Amino acid sequence: MSKRQREQEKDRLFTRRALLLGAAQIGLIGTLAGRLYFLQVMEGERYTMLADDNRISLRLLPPPRGRILDRNGEPLAVNRLNYRVTLVAEQVRNVEATLDAIGKLIELTELDRRRVMRDLRRRRGFVPVTVREDLTWEDVARIEVNIPDLPGVAIEVGALRHYPHTESVGHILGYVGPVAEADLTGEPLLELPDFRIGKNGIERIYDRELRGAAGTVQVEVNALGRVVRELARDEPTAGQDVVLTIDIGLQSFCRGRLGDESGSIVVLDVHTGDVLSLVSAPAYDPNLFSAGLSARDWEELLANPKGPLTNKAIAGMYAPGSTFKMVTALAALEAGVVRPSDRISCPGYLELGDHRFHCWKKEGHGGVNLQEAMMVSCDVYFYEVARRTGMDRLAAMARRLGFGDLINIDLPGERRGLMPTREWKQRTRGQPWVQGETLIAGIGQGYVLSTPLQLAVMTARLVNGGVAVIPHMTRSIGGKPNAGRNPPPYPSMGLQRSGLEAMIRAMNAVTLEERGTAYRARITERGFEMGGKTGTAQVRRITMQERERGVRRNEDLPWRFRDHALFVGYAPVHAPRYACACVVEHGGGGSAVAAPIVRDVLTETQRRDPSRRTGPVASLVTPNGG
């Protein structure tokens, strides 16, 4: 091949390569142009939104928690200003030195310092960290005066749950606390660092209603997430107010009346089911939990042998003792195995087989009828009545009057108590029921267990004409009546009127007759008189040696071995409107300890609301039993 031919071949090869390269370039440019068109035109709106998301941050605003009020509008749980001192790490040269300086102005524990250092490690440098909250006005003033010398330190104002009546309402209201991992449901509001939810009591039961709805704020942020400016705000919706049936004046009176005793008091309106007071003592101050319970305070609560964390009114289970004798008598009257006028001899004991069941009065009461037996609380009379009635009918009547099942009051932690049956014993203990256990159950001992709330319900149903009233604690939510929980009218239990009349005459005699076990604790103010029944529940078995020596004195025993003191009462006797149950743990005799407490509580209840001294339902009997 000549030189010219070689040059021509080379030119053809170059031209071919140039064409291929040009075509590739054109294809690449076309692809880029198409992609550019797709991104800028077809997907332009989407990428604009993504760019805005990088620039605009949508943040939640926690809502103010709804208030809890008593029946008269008195605040029981509110939100108060919470002054807190914060620190921004990037504005502080030396964090330790700054904390030292703050510690000279306000109290700052070693635990506070460790928490601050931990939070600083977990958060970005421009995010404020709380050093201490719930500052007094004097604390705030000292910090503010020294702010120029404390770069990066600031005072912020938030909200803190506050309970003005402290421990008087602790077991009813419960408290709020930080959201635990188990509480997370995916709701963004729950993930806010300082958000609080109800942990116990009414705060927990109605947490959704009290919580409210979060607001939002749109802010412009830079690449590091620091806020540049606020763009838009949608204010949060405050939680709904919850109005309770509780009368805080009466509640505080009941709490004060128990004093240092360990026990509970429940006061009901026998017709509406309103719980006017529900006290458990000792109690705790829910403000401790709201502000952050210290380890020392928690250990003290746990170590207290009187159990301040337990709501004894709904979760304390006690043998009802002689307060159960109305159940036994009413079951016998309904079954027709005894009449109010029937007399039963009490020599001080009842023999069944080779076992002897003793009366509390060693020498006995002689021959007594129903009213006399109730008045003097004769055990032998009710042993015999229980034997004739049988355990099945006894248990059935007890359940109708509220024993052995949940009442479903508006509080968490309620317990069922225990109303034993033959089937229950066989199923749980693998043993047959024996007749002696029926006798013991007839005086409210043995396996029988009840809560103070159940005792109050029993009393209310006996004196309101046999209506199955159900107690409740909530009047309204957000201004609307709380019709979803136990609304009246309540159904009749179908009890014989004659039996109810006999029971009320007998309970009236307990307080109005000189031989009555609670005569000394009677209400002497005319028109305020009460009826009721004393009870003393043993917590240990009395040995035969103690019974023979007769030296067993309750006050000489260690506190945990002493008898429980009980009393159930109602007032006024001419038209019952209020029922009250009181249990004093290891308090001794019901007539000496619990009855005077109920006397004072029912007197105060009637004085606080004179318009309700007479009820809408006619009385069954007159005060003198006629």
Catalytic residues: 322
User: What are the backbone dihedrals phi and psi of residue 449, each rounded to the nearest 5 degrees, phi first?
Assistant: -135, 140
Three-class DSSP category at 285: coil
Distances (CA, A) of 376 to 361, 365, 412, 454, 594: 10, 8, 38, 23, 16
Distance CA 70, CA 252 (A): 12
CB atoms inside a 10 Å sphere around CB 539: 14
Residues 415, 326, 625, 367: is their CA dihedral positive or negative?
Answer: negative
Contact (Cβ atoms closer than 8 angstroms) between residue 567 and residue 590: yes
Joined tokens for residue 297: 């305070």
Q: For residue 566, what is the enclosing H or E element? A: strand 564-571
Distance CA 423, CA 432 (A): 8
Joined tokens for residue 151: 């770069």
Spatial CA neighbour of 374 closest among 324, 438, 445? 324
Contact (Cβ atoms closer than 8 angstroms) between residue 384 and residue 378: no
Distance CA 379, CA 43 (A): 90
Contact (Cβ atoms closer than 8 angstroms) between residue 536 and residue 572: no
Residue matched to tokens 């032998």? 380
DSSP 192-244: STT-EEE-SHHHHHTHHHHH-B-EEEEEEE-TT--EEEEEEEEPPBPPPPEEE
Joined tokens for residue 573: 């006797």
Distances (CA, A) of 147 to 156, 322, 441: 13, 68, 71
DSSP 21-46: HHHHHHHHHHHHHHHHHIIIIISHHH
Distance CA 567, CA 565 (A): 7
Q: For residue 362, what is the enclosing H or E element? A: none
Distance CA 143, CA 106 (A): 8
Three-class DSSP category at 513: coil
DSSP 386-444: HHHH-HHHHHHHHHHTT-SS----SSTT----B---HHHHHHHHS----HHHHHHHHTT
